[in-house]
Structure formats: C-alpha cells, structure tokens
Amino acid sequence: MRKCIYCGKEKVHEDAVMDFCDDCGLKVWGPKMLATLKTNYTKARDEDDLVHMDTSATLKMLRSDVTAREGISARERKIV
C-alpha cells in the first residue's frame, strides 16, 4: 500500500494509477469526475502512455541550477 497524497493514510493500492485514495478523490472531484479520471488514467497506463514525474526533485534541480548560475547560495535564496 502507498500513502494518499491528500490524507497521508496508507490506503492506495500499489497498482493504482492515482496517488490518492478513493475517499479523498470523491471529496476533491466528486463521483463523476473521479470515475472519468480513473478511466482515462487506466487507459493511458494500459497504452503505456502514462508519465509519472517526481516534481519535487525537478524543482530542486532547477533551483540549484539557477542558484549556481547566479552565484547565490541556497541560504541566501532561502532554498533549503
């Protein structure tokens, strides 16, 4: 089981296409949109067209690159 990105509880199955539990999905999008999202994500996964990105790692890399180019320390930019 994986943790839900919204509530943090370990309620997401390993093979799920979404990173949130059904309870949170219903609260955020409602039943119709959640069903549509699941259908579209599952179809994309089945067609090997689903891309997962770790955006936190990408942002950290971009910030460190800008910091290096500008000669500014991470502490000065308040990026820790």
Number of domains making up the chain: 2
CA dist 73 and 21 (Å) reads 39
Specify whether 36 is located in the same domain as 1. yes
CA dist 76 and 80 (Å) reads 10
* pLDDT tens across the length of the chain (80 residues): 889 999 999 999 988 888 899 999 999 999 999 999 999 999 988 888 877 655 556 556 666 655 555 555 555 555 54
Specify whether 41 is located in the same domain as 30. yes
CA dist 36 and 38 (Å) reads 5
Specify whether 17 is located in the same domain as 33. yes
pTM above 0.85, yes or no: no
Residue 76 tokens read as 């000065």
Specify whether 58 is located in the same domain as 45. no
Residue 67 exposure: Cα atoms within 13 Å on the Cβ side? 15
Specify whether 45 is located in the same domain as 55. no
Chain center to CA of 68:
27
The range of the structural domain enclosing residue 25 comes to 1-49
Specify whether 31 is located in the same domain as 57. no
